[in-house]
């Protein structure tokens, strides 16, 4: 997968959690538990999206790189693209 920076993952995740938090609550059948299920969906979407966002933003512009042992470098030079 060619690295497109931030845009592709950002769009995919925003759409996914946006659907979970914004669209699914409308589709929950009417019943006594509707309020709780909606609360659960929105809270879950916000929490998980925020957590993913923090993880990806922290790696967006790294200030330093990983320090590897020579054996690891030797192996990864040929194994990883």
Partner 1 sequence: MGSLFRSEEVCLAQLFLQSASAYSCVSELGERGLLEFRDLNPKVSAFQRRFVGEVRRCEEMEKTFTFLQQELREAGRVLAPCPDNPRAPLAREALRVQEQSEQLAQELREVSRNRASLRGRLRDLRQYLHVLRESRRFTSLPAPLGSPPRSRALSEREPLLDPSLHQHLDRKINFVAGVIHPWRVSAFERLLWRACRGYLVASFVEMPEPMEDPTTGESITWVIFVISYWGEQIGQKIRKISDCFHCHVYPYPESEATREDTLSGLHSQIQDLSVVLEETEQYLAQVLDKVVLALPTWRVQVQKMKAIYLILNQCSFDVTEKCLIAEVWCPVKDLTQVQDALRQGSYKSGSSVECFVQRIPTSESPPTLIRTNKFTAGFQSIVDAYGVASYQEVNPAPYAIITFPFIFAIMFGDVGHGLLMFLFALWMVLYEDRPSLRQASNEIWLMFFEGRYLILLMGAFSIYTGFIYNECFSRATAIFPSAWSVAAMANHSSWSSAYLATHPVLTLDPNVTGVFRGPYPFGIDPIWSLAINHLNFLNSFKMKMSVVLGIVHMAFGVILGIFNHVHFRQWHRLVLEFLPEMIFLLALFGYLVFLIFFKWIKFSAANSLVAPSILIHFIDMFLFTSNADNLPLYEGQVPVQTVLVVLALASVPVLLLGTPLYLWCQQRSLRTSQPTLVASREQEPLLEGQEAGNSVNATKEDVESGGHSPDAKHLDLAELFMHQAIHTIEYCLGCVSNTASYLRLWALSLAHAQLSEVLWSMVMRSGFVGLRYVGGVVLVPVFAAFAVLTVAILLVMEGLSAFLHALRLHWVEFQNKFYVGSGYKLCPFTFTPDHWE
77 touching partner 1, by CB under 8 A: yes
66 touches 45 (CB < 8 A):
no
41 touches 25 (CB < 8 A):
yes
> For residue 66, which phi and psi values (nearest 5 degrees)?
-75, 145
14 touching partner 1, by CB under 8 A: no
Q: Quick one: which of 24, 18, 8 has its CA closest to 50?
A: 18
Rounded Cα distance, 44 and 35, in Å: 14
Footprint of partner 1 on residues 17-36 (CB under 8 A)? 32-33, 35-36
x-or-dash string of contact with partner 1, 33-62, rule CB under 8 A: x-xx--xx--xx--xx-xxx-xxxxxxxxx
66 touching partner 1, by CB under 8 A: yes
Q: Which residues bind partner 1 (CB under 8 A)?
A: 1, 3-6, 8-9, 13, 32-33, 35-36, 39-40, 43-44, 47-48, 50-52, 54-70, 72-74, 76-78, 80-81
């Amino acid at each position: 997968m060619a690295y497109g920076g931030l845009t592709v993952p950002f769009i995919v995740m925003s759409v996914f959690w946006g659907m979970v938090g914004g669209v699914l609550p409308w589709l929950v059948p009417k019943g006594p538990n509707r309020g709780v299920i909606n609360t659960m969906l929105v809270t879950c979407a916000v929490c998980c999206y925020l957590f993913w966002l923090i993880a990806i933003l922290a790696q967006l512009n790294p200030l330093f790189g990983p320090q590897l042992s020579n054996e690891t470098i030797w192996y990864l030079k040929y194994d990883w693209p």
